[in-house]
Copies of this chain bind each other. A is one copy, B any other.
């Protein structure tokens, strides 16, 4: 997605430890119009999969997942990282390592909103190691739901997440694929 790549080039910042800082337009501050266009693009790419629900992880997955759900006309569920008091005692829970937090985090979904027979489209902001998305896959599978596709706004191809997700056997789409961030210079696939 050309607009997104140009925005990453302009406003993205490569930090130490292979972190790409995009908190002026995706995390923290969000360009709502850009997120809406990302959601429309995901909806177009996944239109034929018959998804019944979008699944993401709080916090930074919420914006692109919401706009995708909006354009597909289906609900979105975001996995919680802490169990709110409004959630029942019986939940689906898995652990996933967080790159930006440097520790394991819980991913929790209420059985009320993820059920057998659902066709789940997973949307997240980043595809790096694939660990968070694999966690979402486990949650959906535990619920008896079927994963039909995986979409991420930004993929760092050199962190191997796409290979990790291959056994899931569904289409994986990323709107911007970064192949290198060496010397703080961002290079996209096809450049």
List A residues at the B interface (Cβ < 8 Å).
15, 19, 21, 23-25, 27-33, 35-36, 54, 58-59, 62-63, 66-67, 69-70, 73-78, 80, 82, 84-87, 100-102, 109-110, 112-113
**Contact pick for A113, options B28, B36, B74, B86, CB 8 Å:** B28
Task: Give Cα A36 to B75, complex, Å.
Answer: 12
Is the beta-carbon distance between A28 and B80 smaller than 8 angstroms? yes
**Contact pick for A30, options B73, B78, B80, CB 8 Å:** B78
Is the beta-carbon distance between B66 and A110 smaller than 8 angstroms? no
Most buried by B among A19, A69, A86: A86
Closest-by-CB residue of B relative to A31 is: B75
Tell me the smallest distance from the CB of A145 to a CB of chain B, in Å: 13
Is the beta-carbon distance between B27 and A84 smaller than 8 angstroms? yes
Residues of B within 8 Å of A112, CB to CB, are 24, 29
